Amino acid sequence: MPSAPRSKSLATWLALLGGLLGAHRFYLHGWRDKLAWLHPVLSLVGLAGVVRMRNLGQDDHAAWLLIPLFGAMVVVAMLSTIVVGLTTDERWAQRHGTPQQDTSWAPVIAVVIALLVGGAALMGTLAFSGQMFFEYQKLSG
Read off the DSSP letter of residue 2: -
User: pTM for the whole thing?
Assistant: 0.87
What are the pLDDT digits (tens) for 7-38?
999 999 999 999 999 999 999 999 999 999 99
8 A C-beta contact, residue 45 and residue 34? no
3-state secondary structure 95-129: HHCCCCCCCCCHHHHHHHHHHHHHHHHHHHHHHHH
DSSP string, 45-60: HHHHHHHHHHHH-TT-
What are the pLDDT digits (tens) for 48-84?
999 999 999 888 889 988 999 999 999 999 999 999 9
The whole-chain average pLDDT of the chain stands at: 91
Number of Cβ atoms within 10 Å of the Cβ of 134: 10
